[in-house]
Structure 1
């Protein structure tokens, strides 16, 4: 019994480390635009948050991937400057791009659920692409409604324009999603982080 307790405790510790690691990677990925400020299109920063959120779900599984993304969001809302452009605090909820931050949680969860059930390389790539699509759908719709109802829409702004702003970063995120799927599949075979259910 004591051995079982020690094993469970060790698993929880490793679990915490992995979640903290991916939350940290998202913090770093969020602020790549401070190094390359030209990576802002239509007011939307092109970051690596989506890549690390998707990777969290693929590598850690649905629960822990979602936890890692939730930790990232809560740390930012608590005031730490971990969102894009080193922003943070509760006021970030009113930023039009906050929907992308929320979407990371669901994206990681769905990606994790898919690979927990299907273990092939194709399923990892498919899960990553589905997660990236979730990120775009939730984030873009949130941005549209934010501009329409409280953020002050630019002149001539429309739903089509909101999606047009997403076109420049989309190829990058599709490529990174495919890479995340391939990388996570190979990494999972070595580390076996996702528990067998």
Structure 2
């Protein structure tokens, strides 16, 4: 289904907010400084529902919010130090994960389409 650009941008904001909420639920792991969260699930759902373009835009919004200090990262923290710390690679990976998940879903939908 095609949506207007405004609707897509609103959905980007909603999925960025869902990722922020699921990032706050933390299971600390004693052997690593990177905790386990439900954010990976929401990142893949974002790519699956919004597609590659808007899914990655949503995750860029999420990462930028956290960089500017909004408490959206694991344990409801934020700041640029999280992006350059041990969790930084995971946070950048959210953008790539949403993009790749969106591409996979788009290819599956294109393959199974009757039109």
TM-score by length of 2: 0.86
SS at the partner of 1:118?
A: helix
Structure 1 equivalent of residue 63 of structure 2: 73
List aligned pairs for 1:21-170, cutoff 5 A: 21-33=14-26, 39-41=27-29, 42=31, 43-119=33-109
Larger RCO of the pair (alpha carbons < 8 Å, separation 6+): 2
Q: Which deviations, in whole Å up to 9, do the C-alpha atoms of 1:34-56 show, x marking residues without a partner?
A: xxxxx211232110111011111
CA–CA distance in structure 2, aligned partners of residues 105 and 96 of structure 1: 17
**Deviation (angstroms), 1:119:** 2.1
CA–CA distance in structure 2, aligned partners of residues 66 and 94 of structure 1: 20
CA–CA distance in structure 1, aligned partners of residues 53 and 21 of structure 2: 22
- Equivalent pairs counted in the alignment come to 108
CA–CA distance in structure 2, aligned partners of residues 64 and 111 of structure 1: 12
Instruction: Please identify which structure carries the higher helix content.
Output: 1
Larger Rg: 1
**Deviation (angstroms), 1:28:** 0.4
For structure 2, list consecutive stretches of 5 or more residues without a partner in the other structure.
Answer: none
CA–CA distance in structure 1, aligned partners of residues 34 and 66 of structure 2: 18
**Deviation (angstroms), 1:12:** 1.2
C-alpha contact 2:83 2:91 (8 A) present in aligned 1: no
Structure 2 equivalent of residue 19 of structure 1: 12
Which consecutive segments of 4 or more residues in structure 1 shift more than 4 A? none
**Deviation (angstroms), 1:104:** 0.7
